[in-house]
Amino acid sequence: MPALIFDCDGVLADTERDGHLPAFNAAFAEFGLPVEWDADTYHQKLQIGGGKERIASELPGRDDLIKQLHARKTQLFTERVDAGLLPGRPGIHRLIEAVLTLDWTVAVASTSAERSVRAVLEHAVGPDLAARCHVFAGDIVAHKKPAPDIYLTVLADLALDPAECLVVEDSAIGLRAARAAGLTTIVTISSFTAGEDFDGAALVVNHLGDPDNPLEVVAAPAGVRPVGMVTVSDLEDLSATNQEGAT
């Protein structure tokens, strides 16, 4: 059975600039810490997989404080999601609904806190569709992206054939993680990742597109060029290209 696997942050919603960054800074301020990340600094921190790991880059060795900070940051982030400040990106609801209707497996694979991931997913597609999606998130793997562990866990736990799986990522480290797991990857560029190297992606677009919000194709190395929006037919063509390459 085909499967579509999404990263969360930057893919389901463009959460980093208007969600995680202000939540990190608010948590630092509440704890009385002289740390405030601007956009450029946070872009650098995004090269580190995992929120606790990003905090640890500022506070090495302070494990208890890092856990407390991250828990409060997660709460602040989910409050922003609940307030409707982080809507789903174009095409997310449409495409997830379409593939679920065809009984595809849909999963979200993220190293962000599970509570945050579930909140973003529910607000992007609604609780009914979200309940039909598998969520793999948080500290369930020892090594976070760009290591492939989270994707390997999805494949093993759901008994998926890598040749029938497609991943949607937004960052170079996410792309590296998916490709290291042997997965064909679509990149939907987000606000912090426009200048990154997406070598190895099968398709790079600005977003997945909707009828009233057409996408722009940035690169199509696999030869599949969606018109207006990524459709199930496009996904099937990308999957077929992947399976041909595996034979």
- Which residues are catalytically annotated? 7, 9
Q: Mutual orientation of helices 63-82 and 114-125 as an angle, nearest 10°?
A: 10
Q: How far apart are CA 81 and CA 67, in angstroms?
A: 21
Contact at 8 Å (CB) between 132 and 106?
yes
Contact at 8 Å (CB) between 170 and 10?
yes
Question: What DSSP string describes 76-137?
Answer: HHHHHHHTT-SPBPTTHHHHHHHHHHTT-EEEEE-SS-HHHHHHHHHHHH-HHHHTTSEEE-
Q: How far apart are CA 197 and CA 195, in angstroms?
A: 7
